[in-house]
Structures are given as C-alpha cells and as structure tokens.
Structure 1
Amino acid sequence: MALLLGLLAMVFVAVDLLPGDAALATGERGAGAGEVARRRAELGLDRPVLERFWEWMTGLGRGDLGVSARGVPVLELVGGAFPNTLLLGGVALVLTGAGAVVLGGWAAVRAGGVVDRIVSGAATVVLALPEFVVAVVLVLVFALWTGWLPAVTIAGADGRPASWDMLVLPVLALTIPQIGWNVRIVRAALADEAREPHVEAAVLDGLSPHRVLLRHVLPGALPAIVTGLATSTGVLLGGAVAVEVVFNYPGIGSVLASAVADRDAPLIAGVTALAGAAITLVLLSADLVRDALSGGRR
C-alpha cells in the first residue's frame, strides 16, 4: 500500500514537471493569457502539487477518482476502458499459461535433447523482445503482407472491439514475450521437482516419461508456475499500454496516452490506482492458490 501511495504521489509530481500543463493542453487554440490563467484556476493548477495530490487522495478514500482535465469523471473514462484491457490481458494470461506449460513440459520430457535446446533458446529470444516490437512485426506479417487479420481495432457502439479477430494480434503481441519468460520458469520448476525422491522412484518403477511428468512432477511444480504467471500480470498490463496504442485498442493504454498528452494528473493517477489494485488482487489470489497447492502436498 505504501508503495502504491508513493507511486501515485510521483505521478502528480512527474506530470507537474512536464513542459506545459493541462490548461494549455486542453484549452482552446490561441487562447489569451487571461483565459489560460482562468483555466488554470478552474483546474486547481494554481495550487501546490502536493495540495492537489492530497485533495485527490481524500476523494480516493470515498471511491472518487476525481474529474479529468476535460471535465469528464475519471471513473467514467477508466470504467469504460478497463474491462477491455482486462479482456485483453486475461486472454493473454490464459494463453501464456497454457503455452508455457505445454512448451516447458515438452522440453522437460526431452531434457538435454534437441527439443529442449530449441525451446529454451527460442524462449530466451522472445523474452528479450519488447511488446511493441512484436506488435509491429505482427502487423507487418499478418495485416500488411498477408491481409489475414485487421491492423487496427474498431470499437462498436458498446465500446468493445467490433469483432473477435481484432483481438488476435494484440493478444499475441502480449502473449509471445511472456510465454518466453514463463517457459523458463516452468522448465526450471519441473527440473527441480524431477529431482525429488518420489519422482525418481516413479522413474525406477518404469512409468512412461509423460505419466511421470503429469502425475508426479507437474503437481509439485504448480506453486512455482502459478507464482510466475502472477508476476506476469503486471508486465501484461504495462505492455498493454504500448500494444493498445499500436492497435488503436479501446483500453486503458489509449486512455493513458491521451492523459499524458493532456498533462492530466488525476486521470493518470486513476489509471495507476486501478491497475495497482488489479495487480495486487492477482498477486494475493496467486499466494492463496500457491498456499493451497503447497498445503495439499503436505
């Protein structure tokens, strides 16, 4: 909690240090000095930054995220976009977990072999790729060169993507780097568990490698795998900012990009607070799942 409070305070200070302010960014073009001064007073920009932060924090305790520089309640702006980001990140997290377990398990069954080296090497390569680089490559290949998938997202009347195929490229752009990270975690967790006495006994009993993996190795490795996936949540939400801008996806990434351009500290802080709350909830859930799985083994 203290870390989140410090981060929110830094948001207000950082925005205050940027060139320009919300009065200039959201005001009418060519407005005179008097109009700009009136606009600054209206937005409270004539007061010290820490005073504005404290006022925003007192509202946060009541569930009020304040009003954006354009006069729209922050909760309304974020509430409309956040479900889209949760959909994008949730699908990416599920695919990441499934892909990491399949590839990590495949490499573990063939430990030290060609498959193991290829999977581990490929995981290292994709792990080093930023999400926006993956997004650009996907657009080039699947949108511009082949025309198989749309390059941008068009929102429907309800604010959601107009068709399911508009989710494919953004989800892949988020999933591919995180599969690389989690394959390494899965592979290491399975290798550690494979050295346990009960696993060695199963191997000596003549069980097939796949049965040993599924029945004896994977259950013991699940706590570490769940923890790795939970840590990916924050990275997925962070990567969603860049990915959503590339694909014009109607999520918090697009809202955040507009807020930065507007020097809109309450809106940026509101996005940060909701993202922090979501990440905290996922990490707490992962701890509960890990404790339950570890307790089941005892």
Structure 2
Amino acid sequence: MKAVAGLVVRRLGLLLALLALVFVVVDLLPGNAARAVLGRDADADRIAAKEHELGLDRPLPVRFADWLGGVLTGDFGTTARGQSVNDLLAGKFPQTLLLASIAIAVTVVIALLAGMWWALRPAGIAARIIRPGSAFVIAVPEFVVATILVLVFSLWLDLLPAVTFTDRSGFPAGPQMLILPVVALAIPQAGWNLRVVRGALADAAAAPHVDNAILNGLPERTVLIRHVLPFALPTIATSFATSVGTLFGGALVVETIFNYPGMGAMIAGSVSDRDTALVAAVVTVTGTTILGGLLFADGIRLWANRGRR
C-alpha cells in the first residue's frame, strides 16, 4: 500500500507542476485575455477595467492558488468571455474521450495481435512486412495520416465522410464518422506499441523458466501466453498507458482536421484568447485521465512483480 500511495503522490505532484507551468507559459505569451476579448481597438481604460475584472492585475501565484482552490471544489471557473468552464468541458470532453478510448482499444488489439505474431514467427513473411511497416507509420505524424486517409477514402474512393456531422446530443451522427479519426490516431500508436510488445516478449522469452517449458513439450502458444506474456506485461502496460497521453494530444489535432466536435477547437480558441483558466482546465481533465492510465500501468507492474526481489 505504501508503494501505491507513493506512486499516487508522485503522479499528482507532476500534474500540479504541469498546471503551474501552464499558468506561467500562458502568462508569458504576448498580450493577455483582456486584450484578446476586447480587441485591438479597445482603449487603455477599458483594457485596465477588464484586466481587473479577470483578476489579471493580481500576482500570478495568487491567481494560480485561487484557481486551484476552485478546482478542488469542482469549480473550474469562467472563461475570459464569461462562459462556465465546467459547462464547456461537459459539452466537449465526452466526445474527445470517446474518440481516444476507441483509438486506444484499436491500438491495443492491433499491437497485441501483431506483436505476438511477430514474436512467434520472427523470420516469417508477416515479420518482414511488420518490421519496416511499423517503423514507417511511427515516423508519420497523426495529421499526415489523417490527410492521407481523407485523400484516399473520402476524395478518391468516396467511401467515408471527410468531416464529422453531429446529432442533437453533440456526438457524431453515425459510427462511420468515427472511422477515419480513429484510424488516424491508432495507426502511429499501433506501430510503436507492437514493436514494444515484440521486444518485451523477446526479452521475457530469454528467461530460464521459458526454456524449461519448451523442453517439457508445451505448445509454443501455451508457452507464449502462460510463461512469456505475464513477464512482459509490465513493459507492455506501461507502453499502452503512455500512448493514452499521446492519443489525447493527437486527438486535439485530428479533431480539427475532421471537424470533430471535441476539445480540439476549444483548446485552440483558449490559447488564442490567452484564457489561462480554460487551458488549465483542459490540461487538468486530460492530465487526470492520463494519470489514471499510468497508475493502472503501475498497478499491473506491482502485481506482476509481487514476491520478486
């Protein structure tokens, strides 16, 4: 329990440091929220009044402490334009969470199946395709993959929509709206993770107990699943947990390309408005989600290493 508590404290400390950094970085950007909201034609008196209204005339540490105190009570405050941050997040975060969740599920399935296949047949035809193919997709950013998918499946083949239409709930109107965004997010991460899976399985397969299992005549699939995979699981889980953060970051870009109704446009607008509260709120929500994934991976590692020295 002490080890788990220590992990939670360290992760929360990192999130707190990241939020403080967000406040500092946004504060260092040219201009401020008052000028962004009022526009270039606003006179000095109006800008000063707006700065006072938004609390921008207070020291940065005080503003951060006040905002953090509100977050601890569940209140993310209001934007520079007077909108409730809680309402904005409630309207956009579920859509981004849906997109990223499906993408990570697809990534896990592809990476596990392809990585295990590669481990079982390291010199087979599939391995000869997977090795260079995975290296290629890792090097291609999500926005490039998204652009290629739109070009091929929307413009050339006219099979899937290039933009996302929503229904009354604010979610995509049909499952076909999710296919291209999910694939654009999953392809690079699947390429990376299947190489991690293969490497972790290869390292675990070198353990002496695996040789004993093979000498006892167990089928190779049984050896892989029962004697190799459990020892490779901590590394694999950590890689998948890290991909959660990358997928959320990539989702904000992919959403813009497909006009997906998530937090992508919202975060872009908040940076343009120098809206510290909204930027920090998005970082808090996504960071907490990523934190949960990392803690899950930490738990798997502690479970897999139980009883070992």
Structure 2 counterpart of 1:276 = 287
SS at match of 1:161: coil
1:240 and 2:231 correspond: no
1:42 and 2:17 correspond: no
TM superposition shift of 1:278:
1.1
1:227 and 2:220 correspond: no
Pair 1:235–1:52, CA change in 2 (3 A): same
TM superposition shift of 1:58:
1.9
Give me the whole-angstrom Cα distance separating, in 1, the residues matched to 2:148 and 2:251.
16
Choose which of 268, 278, 281 in structure 2 pairs with 1:257. Answer: 268
Cα deviation, 1:205-240, whole Å, max 9, x if unaligned, reads 444433433343333322322221111111111111
* Kept after mapping to 2: 8 A contact 1:245/1:257: no
Q: Map 1:121-200 to 2 at 5 A.
A: 121-200=132-211
SS at match of 2:160: coil
Cα deviation, 1:2-29, whole Å, max 9, x if unaligned, reads 3222221221222122222222222267
Cα deviation, 1:187-218, whole Å, max 9, x if unaligned, reads 01111122223322333344443343334333
Give me the whole-angstrom Cα distance separating, in 1, the residues matched to 2:51 and 2:231.
59
SS at match of 2:132: helix
* Kept after mapping to 1: 8 A contact 2:77/2:277: yes
Structure 1 counterpart of 2:224 = 213
Pair 1:140–1:12, CA change in 2 (3 A): same
Cα deviation, 1:31-79, whole Å, max 9, x if unaligned, reads 4443333222222223333332222122122221111111111111112
For normalisation by structure 2, the TM-score amounts to: 0.89
SS at match of 2:169: coil
Give me the whole-angstrom Cα distance separating, in 2, the residues matched to 1:125 and 1:101.
18
Gaps of 5+ in 1: none
Give me the whole-angstrom Cα distance separating, in 2, the residues matched to 1:214 and 1:275.
33
SS at match of 2:187: helix
SS at match of 2:270: helix
SS at match of 1:156: coil
Choose which of 115, 130, 139 in structure 2 pairs with 1:119. Answer: 130
Identical positions, percent: 52
SS at match of 2:236: helix
Amino acid at match of 2:108: G
* Kept after mapping to 2: 8 A contact 1:78/1:255: no
Aligned residues: 298
Give me the whole-angstrom Cα distance separating, in 2, the residues matched to 1:76 and 1:132.
28
Give me the whole-angstrom Cα distance separating, in 1, the residues matched to 2:23 and 2:36.
16
Give me the whole-angstrom Cα distance separating, in 2, the residues matched to 1:89 and 1:55.
31
Give me the whole-angstrom Cα distance separating, in 1, the residues matched to 2:99 and 2:131.
26
Give me the whole-angstrom Cα distance separating, in 2, the residues matched to 1:13 and 1:108.
46
Give me the whole-angstrom Cα distance separating, in 2, the residues matched to 1:216 and 1:89.
32
Structure 2 counterpart of 1:21 = 32
TM superposition shift of 1:170:
1.0
Amino acid at match of 1:186: V
Give me the whole-angstrom Cα distance separating, in 2, the residues matched to 1:3 and 1:194.
35
TM superposition shift of 1:120:
2.0
Structure 1 counterpart of 2:113 = 102
Cα deviation, 1:124-170, whole Å, max 9, x if unaligned, reads 11112211111111111111211111111122221211211111111
Structure 1 counterpart of 2:8 = none
* Kept after mapping to 1: 8 A contact 2:33/2:274: yes
* Kept after mapping to 1: 8 A contact 2:233/2:300: no
Choose which of 20, 38, 43 in structure 2 pairs with 1:9. Answer: 20
SS at match of 2:166: coil
TM superposition shift of 1:287:
1.9
TM superposition shift of 1:265:
0.5
Amino acid at match of 2:201: L
* Kept after mapping to 1: 8 A contact 2:137/2:191: yes
